[in-house]
């Protein structure tokens, strides 16, 4: 009787793995996060060659602090664009910053609440214009419908 089984050595994961396709590199690399206590974000320091000091100072007052280049050597930098941030990671007019995770979550919750209150205000304004003879529809629900394959 013939043995037509594939040998275990020939059916390893490496031989069955697909070839990796080329993908373009990231525009802004992500730092290797070893500490879950911090949230990372890219902050604009310049736009079209003009320094944006207002944006940088407001983000620093919010609690974001610049990340030093020595803390993340995996992010390679070609050149420093601004002498003011020479020790930090700056790419394409954006500087990598970090903040405590709790502070970032509180900030996100603040802006989420602000957006929800604005949407509620828009809904109230819209429903004020409602007429029972011709009601307005205010549906913000979405659903996914799958086809039947025809």
The alpha carbon of residue 56 and the mean position of all alpha carbons in its chain are separated, in whole angstroms, by 19
The parts of the chain modelled with pLDDT lower than 50 are none
**144 inside domain:** no
Q: How many domains is the chain partitioned into structurally?
A: 1
DSSP-based three-state secondary structure for 15: helix
Kind of pairing between the strands at 90-91 and 38-44: unpaired
Q: Across the chain, what does the average pLDDT equal?
A: 79
**64 inside domain:** yes
**47 inside domain:** yes
User: At a CB cut-off of 8 Å and minimum separation 6, what does 85 contact?
Assistant: 45, 66, 95
> Which residue range is the domain that position 85 belongs to?
29-125
**112 inside domain:** yes
CB-count exposure of residue 1 (10 Å: 0-12, 13-18, 19+): exposed
**41 inside domain:** yes
**136 inside domain:** no
Residue-wise pLDDT tens digits, 4-32: 766 666 666 665 677 788 888 777 877 77
Query: Residue 82 and residue 93: Cα distance in Å, rounded?
Result: 9
**10 inside domain:** no
- State residue 59's pLDDT score: 92
Q: Which helix (H) or strand (E) holds 85?
A: none
């Amino acid at each position: 009787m013939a043995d037509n089984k594939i040998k275990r050595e020939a059916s390893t994961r490496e031989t069955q793995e697909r070839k990796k396709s080329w993908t373009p590199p990231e525009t802004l690399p992500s730092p290797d996060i070893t500490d879950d206590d911090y949230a990372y974000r890219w902050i604009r320091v310049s736009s079209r060659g003009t320094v944006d000091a207002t944006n940088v100072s407001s983000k620093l007052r919010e609690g974001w602090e610049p990340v030093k280049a020595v803390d993340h050597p995996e992010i390679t930098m070609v050149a420093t664009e601004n002498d003011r941030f020479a020790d930090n990671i700056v790419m394409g007019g954006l500087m990598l910053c970090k903040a405590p995770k709790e502070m970032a979550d509180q900030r996100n919750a603040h802006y989420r609440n602000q957006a929800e209150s604005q949407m509620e205000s828009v809904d109230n304004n819209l429903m004020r214009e409602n007429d029972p003879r011709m009601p307005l529809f205010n549906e913000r629900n979405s659903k996914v419908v799958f086809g039947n394959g025809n």
